[in-house]
């Protein structure tokens, strides 16, 4: 797949400056690519082909290279995540500790299926591979924050406490 950068950048002038800065941060420009894509994910809560095409142009890389990175790491999504992105671990320890029940609870409490976002854009949830916190199973990752030993109650509190 090849996508050309759109005539008008999908980024604001300020965001463009940030992306260009990532090309200059390290000895080789492409070393800043993952960080640049992290910024794009944060700004848009997703990375679309037009975003990747513009990043490719800025980094002077082929589109396929940037798109390959954007679709490889689970931190980057092509679907729009909520402002609060909830990851539910479905690794073995968490599964044994009841992650399937937490899956049902997330769907019921947030009112959306996996990898879809609430109408107000606040929440989305998805299953993830082992979060490296098996001793705190079942584990959730809320944006970058780990919530261990999740219960139906903690999921409800998460929703009520979110801004």
Minimum distance between the CB of residue 150 and ligand FES, rounded to whole angstroms? Answer: 10
CB of 147 to ligand FES, least distance (A): 11
Please report how close the Cβ of residue 139 comes to ligand FES at its closest, in angstroms: 4
Per-residue binding string, ligand FES, 115-134, x by CB under 6 A, is ---------------xxxxx
Q: Tokens 């794009």, residue?
A: 40
Q: Does 102 bind ligand FES (CB under 6 A)?
A: no
Query: What span, in angstroms and rounded, lies between the C-alpha atoms of 64 and 51?
Result: 13
**Choices 7-15, 66-74, 87-95, 117-125; region in contact with ligand FES by CB under 6 A:** 87-95
Q: Is 69 in the site for ligand FES (CB under 6 A)?
A: no
Site for ligand FES in 133-152 (CB under 6 A): 133-134, 137, 139
Stretch that binds ligand FES, among 6-14, 25-33, 92-100, 107-115 (CB under 6 A): 92-100
**Helices marked H in 29-119:** 33-44, 49-59, 63-72, 92-96, 99-110
Phi and psi, residue 3, nearest 5°: -125, 135
Q: Establish if 100 lies at the interface with ligand FES (CB under 6 A).
A: no
Residue 64: which residues within 8 A CB-CB, separation 6 or more? Answer: 1, 2
Residue 19 CB neighbour total at 10 angstroms = 23
Distances (CA, A) of 68 to 33, 80, 93: 11, 18, 31
The answer to whether residue 94 forms part of the interface with ligand FES (CB under 6 A) is: yes
For residue 147, the cross-strand partners are 140
What is the contact surface with ligand FES in residues (CB under 6 A)?
89, 91-94, 130-134, 137, 139
């Amino acid at each position: 797949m090849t996508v050309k950068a759109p005539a008008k950048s999908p980024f604001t002038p300020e965001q463009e400056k940030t992306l260009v800065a990532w090309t200059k941060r390290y000895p080789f420009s492409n070393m800043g690519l993952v960080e640049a894509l992290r910024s794009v994910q944060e700004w848009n809560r997703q990375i679309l082909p037009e975003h990747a095409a513009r990043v490719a142009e800025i980094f002077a890389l082929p589109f396929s290279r940037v798109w390959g990175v954007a679709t490889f790491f689970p931190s980057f999504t092509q679907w729009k995540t909520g402002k609060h992105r909830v990851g539910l671990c479905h690794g073995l320890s968490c599964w044994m500790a009841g992650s399937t029940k937490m899956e049902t609870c997330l769907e019921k409490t947030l009112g959306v299926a996996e990898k879809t976002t609430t109408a107000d854009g606040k929440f989305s949830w998805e299953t993830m591979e082992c979060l490296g916190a098996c001793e705190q199973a079942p584990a959730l990752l809320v944006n970058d924050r780990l919530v261990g030993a999740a219960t139906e109650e903690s999921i409800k509190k998460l929703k009520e406490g979110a801004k």
